[in-house]
Chain A
Amino acid sequence: MSAGLDNLKHVVVLMMENRSFDHMLGALKKQDPRINGLTGTESNLDTTNEPAKVQPLAQFQSQLDPDPDHHFPAVHKQLFAGAAGPPAAPTMGGFVQSYYDQRKDVNHSRQIMFYFPPEKLPVLTTLARSYAVFNGWFSSIPGPTICNRAFAHYGTSFGQVGMNLFYPKTPFLSIYDRMLKAGKTTKLYYYDSASSTMEIVNLLKNQPKIFATYPQFLEDCRRGELPDYSFVEPNYSDHLGDGGGEELASDQHPDHDVQAGEIFIASIYNAIRQNPDLWKSTALLVAYDEHGGIYDHVPPPACLADGFTATEQDTGVPGQTFAFDRLGVRVPAILISPWIPKATVIPGTEDPVNGRIFEHASIPATVTKQFLGTYNDRSPREKAALTFLDLLSDTMRPDADCPVFNFA
């Protein structure tokens, strides 16, 4: 066991919304060729059969309006572009044509290929370059938010490929229930009551004691009272806070402001970073739930089937059932700890020998392994998922080597 793992007491996961790896981090390939980002030559054909190339023109807001479709049928089109579907490999050629379906505006549809230059995302790109960035972290399902977040909470979506929150008679416990049953501590921190959680029905109704708010997270960090495992949700809406002040959505879901999400990520990081005892004993994972319909160039790989089958009616794609045997589009994921060597890049599908593939089931798999040990009553996908705490090393980096964000 490494010294980093030996010191580990807390795991924190922050899950953001709806941005692909290439959109947020693809430009980093120019800084470090080990990062499987963009060369600048990638393109999709638009509906006039003209190539729409990737361009570093992504805006913080007002560009991805309407919200790009990321339900199963749209993602199917984005992945396969009208070609034969599975078992053929995805071509990643249908993003522009899929976005065209919504506004019927050719020029607008090409914006789905835009990505951020690193200087526009100082928080995410600094964290990626300072700690460990995953080249091969994929959303769990080629579909929308709820079924993907379910993999982070339960290690499965219980056969759901959409936004259905109602999972009757679920055969597997959430990671929170497992932790509580074992006498461990855990919290799911949502921003505030007006933003709430995306796990309303299953967890908020049945396990209210595990929930707390973002101000409580900051306070728990300050007091050194963070639970063993924490899951943090951003603010999902523009609304007025309890004191009447403006609370800007920080989830980065289109068309919410991406800079507000940068500050939110920085605030979670700083809260841990600024408590020395917490900093040396905590691993923070920042991950995005799914790609939000936005372009990524890496074809999602196959994976072990999950033991459920979504029908043609469930998927909404004629002739297409889904056995949960392939992953969704790649998303940004960064593991943060002073025990991680600077500029670590975890290879993915681009490295057939050393590449490691992660998905959201890796989250409960990792937390279970760290805090609960052997635990068999889990989904096939979670049992097969890789864990990530082996990335903690024997050497703790000096304070001056680890960034701090100033957003006051």
Chain B
Amino acid sequence: MATPTNVIRIPKPSRSAFNMERPLAKNSLLMNQVKHLLELEKTLPPKQRTGTDPKSITTEGSAAEYIRKMTDILHPRVAKSGGR
């Protein structure tokens, strides 16, 4: 399938590209994703809620952690199996 003439080598991103501490305010898409989930969480039964303080979600890393908790609540089958 791959021959020397059709293989394209792709460089890796810089190690410094990763930044979980990037302020959430710098990414309107993530901010909105968190906002939507916070709204959705209010509609869940109290036992299912994460109890996360919205004010604690200030960085990309903390946003991702909150999104993970909510996705696992909404979609527990994927959380365990990846979708099978």
Contact = CB atoms under 8 A, between A and B. Distances in A.
Nearest to B3: A400
A402 B12 contact: no
A200 interface: yes
Interface stretch (A256-264, A306-314, A375-383): A256-264
A260 B13 CA distance: 6
A391 interface: no
Contacts of B11: 259
Contacts of A263: 10, 12-13
Contact of A201 (B14, B29, B36, B65): B36
B33 A204 contact: no
Interface residues of A, number: 68
Contacts, number: 172
Interface in B29-65: 29-30, 32-33, 36-37, 39-40, 60-61, 63-65
Interface string A118-132: 000011001000000
A187 B83 contact: yes
A406 B10 contact: yes
B11 to A, nearest CB: 7
A223 to B, nearest CB: 11
Contacts of A61: 14, 17
A273 B7 CA distance: 12
A193 B6 contact: no
B7 A404 contact: yes
A404 B6 contact: yes
Given A67-B27, A406-B9, A193 B3 contact: no
A92 B34 CA distance: 32
B38 to A, nearest CB: 11
A140 interface: no
Nearest to A237: B64
Of all A-B residue pairs in the complex, the 5 with the closest CB atoms, nearest first, are A212-B83, A239-B64, A257-B17, A194-B68, A407-B10
Given A123-B10, A194-B64, 16 more contacts: A17-B29, A60-B14, A163-B32, A193-B68, A197-B71, A198-B33, A208-B78, A211-B78, A212-B82, A238-B18, A238-B61, A240-B64, A253-B27, A256-B27, A266-B10, A407-B10
